[in-house]
């Protein structure tokens, strides 16, 4: 039989060995990390000066969706042509945001110099800012005013520009033109109008023999996407954006309670019960099968909805999202390029970042890959509009862009958002009363960020 004594001995042995080995290993890595940093700074000087005689490789960690990889590569080749001594390598990373973030965190924890440029989600400059250089010091200042102001603001953490905007995204409202006509309705402008229209169409379509039909689908799962949807609800009802730009917790207010209760009322009536488990793709699957009258989603669903085998091809259009007491809001999404502090060639890397985000490359990506530019003037570019007639409409919606409070909460945005979407989820599933959940959320946010409470900023 297994005796007590030997089990304790075994545990102790494991603990002792692991601890001793760790103690040795720990000092080792610290040393090597320090060494690496020193070496790095040496390298930096020598490399940047001796640019001419050796070829420098810059690695961009980015996305590889569809032709994204090819287009980034094309951009890289354009740069190489102008700078023959630089070799730009593109490293593809997973499309799943959490997987990509996890990977980046491992690189950054290891202070890896293997990646020089990171493609960053719009919410990451805040949280990961300490690992990225201030691009204003590398010549970005001259070009920032060309880009959407709210994206530059989002990417600026404590006065430092952590990343260059590369392509943008925003929440938009999809509606079925054929059904609005059939039921003689206008495009809903407010949440109340949306509810009414959705009810009418849903009733009609179900009576016409489609039991799977719903009025409105959105992203209600407990994940970052819900933060996007909910910040649009809140902001469009003058309930602020969780935490204000001047670092006040504003989420616990009457307008927020009101709008969240309204959305809760949608669940199980004009929206399926299962909407509280849906992400972008779940919503799109219902929508594209012709089983929904309205949808909140990102612009990506537009092209897919018009694809050859789509049930709703040519039967829908987009508009700004509905609003409550305030004006319509569109959650800011999209990707940026940031230069790692651990890069051995920061100057060159920054130069590559500025090139990749320049008008020239953004235009190429817009024409060939439908990536939404972050430069407003490009939305009037004829070539771009010819390739993507739909982009002209998008600009008006992106102008309503509301950034999630990632810069204000830096480096605690991820935690803030997780607390927020969990609270919202508990409200729309009916587990908690809105008043209670928001009160608890307020306390949780105080714990997480250490900020005071304040009044929400109004959207109009």
85 binds other proteins (CB under 8 A): no
Give me the helices (H) in 271-401, please: 280-288, 300-305, 346-356, 359-369, 382-387, 391-399
- Check: CB of residue 85 under 8 Å from CB of residue 51: yes
Minimum distance from residue 18 beta carbon to other proteins (Å): 3
Do residues 172 and 319 touch, judged by C-beta distance below 8 A? yes
- Shortest Cβ 286–other proteins spacing (Å): 7
Per the structure block, which two tokens stand in for 375?
Answer: 């430069």
Q: Out of 86, 115, 228, 352, which residue is the one contacting other proteins (CB under 8 A)?
A: 115
Piece of the chain touching other proteins by CB under 8 A; list 47-55, 78-86, 349-357, 413-421? 413-421
Task: Report if residue 158 touches other proteins, rule: CB under 8 A.
Answer: no
Quote the CA–CA distance of 445 and 453 in Å, as a whole number.
9
What is the rounded CA–CA span in Å between residue 375 and residue 84?
28
Binding mask 351-390 toward other proteins (x if CB under 8 A, else -) reads -------------------x--------------------
Contacts of residue 268, defined as CB under 8 A and 6 or more positions apart, other chains included, come to: none
Q: Which is nearer to other proteins, 280 or 351 (CB)?
A: 280
Q: Which of 280, 281, 288, 269 is nearest to 214 (CA)?
A: 269
Alpha-carbon distance of 377 to 328, in angstroms, equals: 22
168-227 binders of other proteins (CB under 8 A):
211-212, 221-223
- When binding is defined by CB under 8 A, the residue of 27, 35, 85, 94 that contacts other proteins is 94
Contact 127, 410 (CB under 8 A): yes
Determine if 107 is a binding residue for other proteins (CB under 8 A).
yes
How many residues at the interface with other proteins, by CB under 8 A?
95
Q: Which stretch binds other proteins (CB under 8 A): 17-25, 172-180, 236-244, 394-402?
A: 17-25
Least CB distance from residue 74 to other proteins, whole Å?
17
Position among 254, 273, 380, 396 found at the interface with other proteins (CB under 8 A): 273
Binding residue (CB under 8 A) for other proteins from 272, 320, 326, 373: 272
Give the span between the Cα atoms of 193 and 308, in whole angstroms: 32
- Treating both helix axes as pointing N-terminal to C-terminal, what angle do 359-369 and 68-82 enclose, rounded to 10 degrees? 150
Q: Is 29 in the site for other proteins (CB under 8 A)?
A: yes
Nearest CB to other proteins, comparing residues 292 and 354: 292
Q: Which stretch binds other proteins (CB under 8 A): 109-117, 142-150, 318-326, 394-402?
A: 109-117
Find all residues with CB under 8 Å of 83, minimum gap 6, and list them: 351
Q: Does 255 bind other proteins (CB under 8 A)?
A: no
- Give CA–CA dist 370/223, Å, rounded: 26
Q: Is 439 in the site for other proteins (CB under 8 A)?
A: yes
Could you say which of 35, 38, 77, 98 contacts other proteins (CB under 8 A)? 98
CA–CA distance, 13 with 19 (Å, rounded to integer)? 10
From 136-144, 320-328, 376-384, 434-442, give the range in contact with other proteins by CB under 8 A: 434-442
Q: Is 450 in the site for other proteins (CB under 8 A)?
A: no
Which of the stretches 10-18, 191-199, 255-263, 354-362 binds other proteins when contact is defined by CB under 8 A? 10-18
Q: Which of residues 281-340 bind other proteins (CB under 8 A)?
A: 281-282, 284-286, 288-289, 291, 298, 300, 303-304, 307, 309-311
- Residues 6+ positions from 76 with CB-CB distance below 8 Å: 60, 88, 89, 90, 352, 356
């Amino acid at each position: 039989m297994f005796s007590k004594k030997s089990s304790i001995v075994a545990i102790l042995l494991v603990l002792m060995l692991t601890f001793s080995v760790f103690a040795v290993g720990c000092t080792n890595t610290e040393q090597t990390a320090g060494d690496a940093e020193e070496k790095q700074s040496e390298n930096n000087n020598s490399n940047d000066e001796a640019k001419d005689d050796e070829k420098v490789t810059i690695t961009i960690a980015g996305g590889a969706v569809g032709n994204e990889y090819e287009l980034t590569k094309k951009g890289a080749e354009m740069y190489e042509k102008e700078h023959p001594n630089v070799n730009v390598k593109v490293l593809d990373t997973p499309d799943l945001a959490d997987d990509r973030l996890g990977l980046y965190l491992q690189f950054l924890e290891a202070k890896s110099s293997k990646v020089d440029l990171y493609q960053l989600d719009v919410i990451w400059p805040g949280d990961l800012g300490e690992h990225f250089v201030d691009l204003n010091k590398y010549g970005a200042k001259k070009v920032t005013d060309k880009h959407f102001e709210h994206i530059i603001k989002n990417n600026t953490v404590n006065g430092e520009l952590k990343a260059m905007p590369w392509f943008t995204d925003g929440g938009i409202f999809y509606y079925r033109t054929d059904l609005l006509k059939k039921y003689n309705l206008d495009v809903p402008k407010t949440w109340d109008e949306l509810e009414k229209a959705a009810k009418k169409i849903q009733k009609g379509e179900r009576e016409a023999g489609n039991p799977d039909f719903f009025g409105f689908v959105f992203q209600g799962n407990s994940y970052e996407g819900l933060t996007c949807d909910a910040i649009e609800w809140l902001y469009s009802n003058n309930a602020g954006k969780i935490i204000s730009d001047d670092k006040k917790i504003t989420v616990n207010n009457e307008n927020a309670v009101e709008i969240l209760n309204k959305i809760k009322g949608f669940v199980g009536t004009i929206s399926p019960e299962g909407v509280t488990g849906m992400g972008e793709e779940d919503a799109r699957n219902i929508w594209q099968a012709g089983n929904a009258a309205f949808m909140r989603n990102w612009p990506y669903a537009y092209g897919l909805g018009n694809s050859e085998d789509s049930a709703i091809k040519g039967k829908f259009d987009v508009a700004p999202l509905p609003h409550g007491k305030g004006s319509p809001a569109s959650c800011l999404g999209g990707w940026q390029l940031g230069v790692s502090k651990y890069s051995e060639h920061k100057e060159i890397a920054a130069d590559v970042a500025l090139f990749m985000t320049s008008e020239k490359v953004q235009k190429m990506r817009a024409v060939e890959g439908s990536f939404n530019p972050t430069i407003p003037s490009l939305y009037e570019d004829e070539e771009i509009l010819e390739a993507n007639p739909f982009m002209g409409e998008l600009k008006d919606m992106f102008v309503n862009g509301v950034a999630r409070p990632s810069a204000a909460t830096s480096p605690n945005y991820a935690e803030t958002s997780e607390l927020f979407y969990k609270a919202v989820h508990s409200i729309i599933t009916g587990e908690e009363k809105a008043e209670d959940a928001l009160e608890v959320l307020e306390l949780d946010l105080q714990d997480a960020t250490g900020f005071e409470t304040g009044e929400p900023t109004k959207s109009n």
